[in-house]
Amino acid sequence: MRKLKLGVQISGRGSNLQALIDACAQENFPAEITLVISNVEGVEGLAKAQAANIRTLTIPHKSFPNKEAFEEAIDDAHQKAGIDLICLAGFMRVISPYLISRWRGKMINIHPSLLPAFPGPHTHQRAMDAGALFSGCTVHYVEEEVDAGAIIVQAPVPIKPDDTESELAARVLAIEHKLYPYAVQLIACGFIRYQDGKIISKDTDSMPPIGLLNPALLS
C-alpha cells in the first residue's frame, strides 16, 4: 500500500503533530509524515519531529519581504518533498489565496471549536461566554475564508458549568489528538473526497467509528 505523504505545518507546541507522529508510527497506518515546516524557530514541535527522525524546515515568515514570497517557499518545500496532503497543526498564520489555490483540496486544518461556531482565536472563552453547552473540534479543508472550508469530521466536548478556559482547552485538545489522525485515516482510505469546495464521497455506512487503528482499515 502506498502511504499518503503528509507535510505538517506548525508554529509552536506541536501536540497535534505528535498525535499524527504516533498514529503514523503504527504499523499499516495509511499515511506517513515526510516533512514538518515551522514558521517559528526553535519551537517544541520541531524537537518532536526531530525526535521521530522526520525532516524539518524552519521557514520564518519574518525573513520574507511579503506573504507571497513566504508561501512560495512553503509551496516549493512541499512540492519538492512530494507531499500529498498538507496538515495545518497549530499553524498560526492565515494562509493566503496564493497557497490555497495551489493546494486546494489537499490542505486540511484542525480548529478547536464546532465550526461554523467560533471561528478565529479565543474559541474556548467565546464558547463559554455564549453559554454553549458543547464545544469541540473540527477538521476541515482550507479555503480562502478563515476556518470555513468543507468539514471533514467534528467531535463535541461538553462544557462544564465551572470550567475555566484552560480546563476546557485541555479537554478539547485531548479529543483533537484523536480526531486529526482519524481525519487523515478517512482521507487516506478514500472515505472522504474533496471536489469543488464540497466533500462528494462520504461512504457513511461503512465508515469506521472514530478511533485509531480500526482493524478493518489496516489489513
Catalytic residue list: 111
CA 124 to CA 130: how far, in whole Å? 10
Q: Is 9 in the site for ligand GAR (CB under 6 A)?
A: no
| Contact call for residue 14 and ligand GAR (CB under 6 A) | yes
Chain position carrying cell 464558547 = 127
136: contact with ligand GAR by CB under 6 A = no
Q: Which of 89, 115, 168, 189 binds ligand GAR (CB under 6 A)?
A: 89
Tell me which of 4, 49, 78, 90 binds ligand GAR, using CB under 6 A: 90
With CB under 6 A as the contact rule, the residue among 9, 16, 39, 135 that binds ligand GAR is 16
Q: Which of 207, 188, 206, 205 is nearest to 23 (CA)?
A: 188
For residue 12, state whether it binds ligand GAR (rule: CB under 6 A). yes
CB of 165 to ligand GAR, least distance (A): 12
Residues 6+ apart with CB under 8 A from 178: 19, 155, 210, 211, 212
Work out whether 13 is an interface residue with ligand GAR (CB under 6 A).
yes
User: Which residues, at least 6 apart from 163, have a Cβ–Cβ distance to it below 8 Å?
Assistant: 128
Site for ligand GAR contains 168 (CB under 6 A): no
Compute the distance between CA of residue 47 and CA of residue 58 in angstroms, rounded to an integer.
12
CA separation for the pair 136, 193 (Å, rounded)? 23
Three cell numbers at 134?
458543547
- Contact between 176 and ligand GAR by CB under 6 A: the answer reads yes
Instruction: Find the binding residues for ligand GAR in span 19-58 (CB under 6 A).
Output: 45
Residues that bind ligand GAR (CB under 6 A): 10, 12-16, 45, 89-90, 110-112, 147, 173, 176
